Amino acid sequence: MRQFIAAILATVTSVSLAVPVLAADAIKIGVASPITGALAKMGADIRNGAELAVQEANARGGVLGKKVELVVGDDKGDPREGITVANKLVQSGVVGVVGHLNSGISIPTSKEVYAPAKVTMISPASTNPELTQRGLKNVFRTIGRDDQQGKDAAEYAMKAGFKTVVVLHNKNAYGQGLAEVFKANFERLGGKVLMLDGIQTGDKDFTPVLTRVRAKGPDLVFFGGEYQDGGLLVGQARKVGLKAPFMGGDGLFDPLFIKLAGKKASEGAIVTFPPFDRAGSFATTYKAKYGSEPGAYSGYSYDAARVLLDAVKRAGKADRAAVMAQVSRTKGFKGVTGTITFNGQGDQPGFKFGIWKVQSGNFELVK
Amino acid sequence: MDWGILGQQILNGLTIGSMYALIALGYTMVYGILQLINFAHGEVFMIGSFLGLGTLALLDAAHVNLPIPLALLVAFVVAMAGAALLGMAIERVAYRPLRASPRLALLITALGLSIVLQNAVMLIVGTEDRTYPEAYTEALIDGFDIGAIHISYQQIFTLGLALVLMTLLTILVQKTRMGKAMRATAQDPMTAGLMGIEANRVIAYTFAIGSALAAAGGILFGLTYSINFFIGYQAGLKAFIAAVLGGIGNIPGAMVGGLVLGVVEALGAGYVSGTWKDVIAFGILVVVLIFRPSGLLGERVAEKV
């Protein structure tokens, strides 16, 4: 027994001694997204994007001659879990984190956990404007902002001749934020908002709220939220006789949106999402590796991870503060989602959202 | 007041409510006999739904071109039989060895089992939402209008099938020998045992029937909405509320409780706000537990001396 304890002690000591050596051997970056829970598919898409970037970097011999190690964190789409996972990532010694998905998680973790530890956070998916407006030096995003997206959406809706709209959202920082920006812009342009209401994300039966929407008789229904809820909303609208077309933001941009809604019901749905090259080599590589098309944010997470590794390379060392400074100097980085240049607050000025429409079961860029 | 909208909302509520009712029956039957809240029941519902999806997908993959009603029948039979076996296995493996232990041990086992099943399914089928093959959902999506009420074929199918299954269950419990044995065991297991009723068999049978009904609810759910490994959690909780609402242990109570819960939820979401749905459902649970703990139709409490 005593020998056994001694053996354990020896192992523990050698492990704890080995940690700094290991950390010096590999460069660690983190990816944090909801791997389990209601948003698990989107979370996995984000992890896959980062994983692909890391594997490609390692295939080219690593960064600064060292192997890159990806530490995966599962925030479960829950802000409390987000804080826990962020702490774990920081303790594991990552220089930066690609994540999170939800604005409602990116906002608190970047300030409470990552900022004090000087860990860079690059979100591939959090579009809520507040994220980058708090004067934090460690926060960046490869995606655009909802104030831009909501404005682009409202302008298109107005031009397309929709005069009245019902606005629904999923109550989280992203969905509600986007819905409110859309509403404000649509009203500013002279449109009329007949109703604004939230739904419970993860719920499956939306017929009651859709029946209420039908009673209002809008020209268009705008939904701020993700595709799981959005797909069901669009599919069930037909079951209660609601015929107005649906419009939504980047969170709906996923092949599963069309599958969940059904081909017939999804036809003509309008989604704002940045234009990108879907036939490019990234999509091909991704499909070959994961067996499915890249998710909405896979490209953004792939780019975020590459921007981070590029900054490590330029910093010349895996030092958190140095990496953060280099990320902020990212300029003209050629990503698969576009050319990435960060402004002083971590946003990409000039980020453009496009208008996509579902046509015979596919998203087609219309503007 | 727009009566058409009200009618539509009640129909919406009855549709989801009949699914709650089918699941709630399993909770209430098991509680009636074992005084156990089988929290793994929601997962049986979820697995039943996946079995139905798997069957339809297999039929399509094997190019067995059955007409849609026949293919659905096969899916129901396979899923209900599979779920019945799963229910019996759960009882045999997780609950029977603990039957003499304190209730708390059983309850915790049930919760643990629920997590195990949920995660097992997650590892097998993945995390993404899945839909039933479009041929089946599209066949049911259209409908017709009566006044301002739009009735989809899917709603008729759901309500009709739930009604048929509940009628069959009532006949089974009230008219057959096994039904009598179930009622006797629920009332007084010891005396029932002395009369020559084999408790283990009755209990296994109860789990099988409850699980089969949940699987039927699972297919109806899958045909209407989308499914993932997580659906058993919420639907299970709602069905549990329905069972408590109707009076746990009471079979007609579970049916009424499910329908009432569905309608109240729909009216709440339709007239107050979509965000209030769960608040209303769980609010009902609290109110019922405070003011009428025996539920709407009351629990048949056998006085134990």
- Ordered strands of the A354-359 beta sheet: A192-198, A164-169, A220-224, A246-248, A270-273, A354-359, A362-365
What average pLDDT score do residues B3-29 get? 93
Identical fold, A2-144+279-336 and A146-273+353-365: yes
What pLDDT, on a 0 to 100 scale, did the predictor assign at position A19?
42
What average pLDDT score do residues B273-280 get? 84
What pLDDT, on a 0 to 100 scale, did the predictor assign at position A207?
92
E strand segments, A309-365? 333-335, 338-340, 354-359, 362-365
What pLDDT, on a 0 to 100 scale, did the predictor assign at position A293?
84
Task: Tell me how close the Cα of A265 comes to any Cα of chain B, in angstroms.
Answer: 10
What average pLDDT score do residues A215-219 get? 94
CA pair distance A32, B305, nearest whole angstrom:
58
CA pair distance A42, B302, nearest whole angstrom:
51
What pLDDT, on a 0 to 100 scale, did the predictor assign at position A349?
86
Bridge partners for A121 per DSSP: A97, A139
Q: What share of chain B is helix, strand, coil (3-state, %, to 5)?
A: 80, 5, 20
CB contact under 8 A, A262 and B131: yes
CA pair distance A206, A232, nearest whole angstrom:
8
What pLDDT, on a 0 to 100 scale, did the predictor assign at position B302?
46
Q: What is the pLDDT of residues A90-146, one digit of tens each?
A: 999 999 999 999 999 999 999 999 999 999 999 999 999 999 999 999 999 999 999
Please give the full DSSP string across B172-224, using - where no structure is assigned.
HHHHSHHHHHHHHHHH-HHHHHHTT--HHHHHHHHHHHHHHHHHHHHHHHHHH
What pLDDT, on a 0 to 100 scale, did the predictor assign at position A275?
79
Q: What share of chain A is helix, strand, coil (3-state, %, to 5)?
A: 50, 20, 30
Closest C-alpha to A30, from A108, A100, A131, A106:
A100
CA pair distance B78, B53, nearest whole angstrom:
10
What pLDDT, on a 0 to 100 scale, did the predictor assign at position B119?
93
What is the Cα Rg of chain B in Å?
Answer: 19
Percentage above 90 pLDDT, chain A = 75
CB contact under 8 A, A207 and B15: yes
Question: Is residue A278 scored above 80 in pLDDT?
Answer: no
Chosen CATH of A146-273+353-365 out of 3.40.630.30, 3.40.50.2300, 3.20.20.140, 3.20.20.120: 3.40.50.2300
Domain ranges in chain B are 17-291
What letter does residue A113 receive in the DSSP assignment? I
CB contact under 8 A, B122 and A203: no
* Mean pLDDT across chain B: 91
Angstrom distances, CA of residue A329 to CA of A150, A210, A306, B123: 28, 47, 14, 41
CA pair distance B61, B64, nearest whole angstrom:
8
Question: Is residue A18 scored above 80 in pLDDT?
Answer: no
Cβ(A208)–Cβ(B270) below 8 Å: yes
Residues constituting chain A: 367
What average pLDDT score do residues A209-234 get? 94
| A interface residues, B as partner, C-beta within 8 Å | 35-38, 40-41, 43-44, 168, 171, 197-200, 202-209, 211-212, 214-215, 228, 231-232, 235-236, 238-241, 256, 259-260, 262-265
Q: Contacts of residue B129 in chain A, CB cutoff 8 Å?
A: 41, 228, 231, 256, 260
CB contact under 8 A, B127 and A36: yes
CA pair distance A240, B211, nearest whole angstrom:
30
Cβ(A126)–Cβ(A101) below 8 Å: yes
Segment B268-273 long-range contacts (CB within 8 Å, at least 24 positions apart): B268/A208, B269/A208, B269/A209, B269/A212, B270/A208, B270/A209, B270/A211, B270/A212, B270/B5, B270/B9, B270/B12, B271/A212, B271/B9, B273/A197, B273/A198
What pLDDT, on a 0 to 100 scale, did the predictor assign at position B300?
54
* Mean pLDDT across chain A: 90
What pLDDT, on a 0 to 100 scale, did the predictor assign at position A332?
93
ipTM above 0.90, yes or no: no
State how beta strands B149-152 and A354-359 pair.
unpaired
Q: Contacts of residue B279 in chain A, CB cutoff 8 Å?
A: none
CA pair distance B182, B32, nearest whole angstrom:
9
Bridge partners for A339 per DSSP: A334
Domain ranges in chain A are 2-144+279-336, 146-273+353-365
What pLDDT, on a 0 to 100 scale, did the predictor assign at position A277?
66
What pLDDT, on a 0 to 100 scale, did the predictor assign at position A15?
44
Task: Tell me how close the Cα of B217 comes to any Cα of chain A, in angstroms.
Answer: 14
CATH 1.10.3470 fits B17-291, yes or no: yes
Q: Is residue B168 very low, low, confident or very high in pLDDT (cuts 50, 70, 90)? A: very high
Q: Is residue A22 very low, low, confident or very high in pLDDT (cuts 50, 70, 90)? A: very low
Bridge partners for A333 per DSSP: A340
Closest C-alpha to A98, from A128, A79, A70:
A70
Q: What is the pLDDT of residues A255-276, one digit of tens each?
A: 889 999 988 899 999 999 987 7
Q: Contacts of residue B223 in chain A, CB cutoff 8 Å?
A: none
Q: Contacts of residue B268 in chain A, CB cutoff 8 Å?
A: 208
Structure token digits, residue B64:
């067995």
Q: What is the pLDDT of residues A279-319, one digit of tens each?
A: 788 999 999 999 988 888 899 999 999 999 999 999 999 99
Q: Is residue A3 very low, low, confident or very high in pLDDT (cuts 50, 70, 90)? A: low
CB contact under 8 A, A208 and B221: no
Protein fold of A2-144+279-336: Rossmann fold (3.40.50)
Percentage above 70 pLDDT, chain B = 97
What pLDDT, on a 0 to 100 scale, did the predictor assign at position A23?
45
Q: Is the peptide bond before A100 cis (omega within 30 degrees of 0)?
A: yes
Residue B99's φ and ψ, nearest 5 degrees, are: -60, -30
Structure token digits, residue A3:
């020998």
Task: Tell me how close the Cα of B237 comes to any Cα of chain A, in angstroms.
Answer: 13
Closest C-alpha to A305, from A279, A281, A282:
A282
What pLDDT, on a 0 to 100 scale, did the predictor assign at position A281?
87
CA pair distance A10, A18, nearest whole angstrom:
12
The crossing angle, in degrees rounded to 10, of helices A298-315 and A320-328 is: 120
Cβ(B270)–Cβ(A211) below 8 Å: yes
